Chain A
Amino acid sequence: QKEVEQNSGPLSVPEGAIASLNCTYSDRVSQSFFWYRQYSGKSPELIMSIYSNGDKEDGRFTAQLNKASQYVSLLIRDSQPSDSATYLCAALFFGNEKLTFGTGTRLTIIP
């Protein structure tokens, strides 16, 4: 079964530091990867998409993809208390019409 795995946390990071969230996946030929942020009681919100090896930057967020090692990560620079949320990693496996989600990592930014 194709899977996406994340450390459930909680991960605590001081305000202003870099938060690093990691995700591994089981299928070497996965095509597309996404990071979602979910605040408590709210629906997931897409924050990053990445499709090719390397880094993709968007403001304070950087997604990193390494297909050879089958991991994708999300870096949050200059962490703010408003970044406190659960971050979900998702992968689109080859031949599927649906995303597979990890169980999420709960991030807490400490003021």
Chain B
Amino acid sequence: SQTIHQWPATLVQPVGSPLSLECTVEGTSNPNLYWYRQAAGRGLQLLFYSVGIGQISSEVPQNLSASRPQDRQFILSSKKLLLSDSGFYLCAWSQQINSPLHFGNGTRLTVT
């Protein structure tokens, strides 16, 4: 069966520090991969998605970036965090376009 791993679970970082969140999927090949952010009490905001290695689509302009160095690995990064980057970051995967998303457990990021 397929599983998705996301880490760390919680993270507290100072303003201006870098960020690297990692997500890996097991038990499937060539998944679609997604990064979402959910601010407190808000809906899900799609940040990036990828349909293959090295293929990244950005949904919103901001100081975050994403990379997919391997088929089942998706990384969210920032060179300098802002206070507004605080939130609940969720990685998700789907097998194909018409199939649902499956979410990882999320990373709660607090920028201080």
Residue ranges of A at the interface with B (Cβ–Cβ < 8 Å): 31-32, 34, 41-46, 49, 51, 88, 90, 92, 97-99, 101-104
Contact = CB atoms under 8 A, between A and B. Distances in A.
Contacts, number: 45
Contact of A34 (B51, B100, B106): B100
8 contacts: A31-B98, A32-B100, A42-B106, A43-B103, A44-B90, A97-B51, A98-B49, A104-B43
A45 B103 contact: yes
Given A42-B106, A97-B32, A97-B51, A102 B101 contact: no
Give the contact-size bracket for chain B.
20 to 34
Contacts of B60: none
B12 interface: no
B34 interface: yes
Contacts of B49: 97-98
A90 B46 CA distance: 12
A103 B104 CA distance: 19
Interface string B92-112: 000001111111111010000
Contacts of B108: 41
B15 interface: no
A101 B90 contact: no
B43 A32 contact: no
Nearest to B90: A43
